[in-house]
């Protein structure tokens, strides 16, 4: 499971704007899409999105849910079963609440 505090990731990428490896950039793009989509509806159960899995060779469509107790965003790929939790998304520019 990927446990991500998005503010740490954004801080890290802000400090090395040109040196961020493509892989990390891809992950940040993916996670910000997950935040953007999930905070529009805040579904409490895993709900299909139009976000494609970031794993190489996987074409799964990501499901996401909002956990009201911890305010974490849970995402899950039903194809390769990779999943993760995102915290620290509140107040970022992808927070659509």
Would you tell me which residues interact with Zn ion (CB under 5 A)?
Answer: 53, 55, 58, 60, 77, 79-80
Provide, rounded to whole angstroms, the least separation between the CB of residue 92 and Zn ion: 24
Q: Which is nearer to Zn ion, 80 or 85 (CB)?
A: 80
Outline where 1-97 has alpha helix (H). Answer: 6-15, 22-41
Nearer to Zn ion, 36 or 55 (CB): 55
CB of 78 to Zn ion, least distance (A): 8
CB-wise, 10 or 52, nearer to Zn ion?
A: 52
Phi, psi of 76 (to 5 degrees): -155, 135
The Cα 75–Cα 39 span in angstroms is 12
Residues near 28 by beta carbon (within 8 Å), at least 6 away in sequence: 9, 10, 13, 20
Supply the minimum distance, in Å, between the C-beta of residue 59 and Zn ion.
Answer: 8
């Amino acid at each position: 499971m990927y446990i991500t505090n998005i503010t740490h990731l954004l801080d890290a990428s802000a400090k090395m704007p040109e040196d961020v490896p493509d892989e990390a950039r891809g992950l940040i793009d993916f996670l910000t899409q997950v935040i953007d989509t999930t905070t529009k509806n805040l579904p409490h159960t895993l709900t299909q999105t139009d976000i494609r899995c970031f794993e190489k060779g996987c074409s799964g469509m990501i499901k996401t849910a909002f956990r009201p107790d911890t305010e974490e965003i849970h995402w899950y790929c039903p194809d390769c079963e990779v999943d993760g939790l995102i915290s620290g998304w509140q107040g970022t520019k992808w927070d659509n609440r």
